[in-house]
Amino acid sequence: MPKDPICGMEVEESKALKLEKNGETYFFCSKGCQDKFLNKIKESSVNKKHDSDKEKK
């Protein structure tokens, strides 16, 4: 049974919210956990862009 990557709760694939990102499938117990996950991805990509901009200078 897959685990929600945010809260660690085991979720049933048939009932869970599902997200495919970069070739991986993630399962979530709730919209709240899915939103937290998406925000972390967004923050991570912003930080990577910011870091790469620093390297160019």
Q: Within 1-57, where are the H helices?
A: 31-56
For residues 47-57, give the mean pLDDT: 58
Rounded CA gap, 53 and 49, in Å? 6
Rounded CA gap, 28 and 34, in Å? 6
* Confidence check: pLDDT of 14 > 80: yes
For residues 27-36, give the mean pLDDT: 98
* Confidence check: pLDDT of 19 > 80: yes
Q: Where are the domains of the chain?
A: 17-56
Percent of the chain with pLDDT over 90: 67
* Confidence check: pLDDT of 54 > 90: no
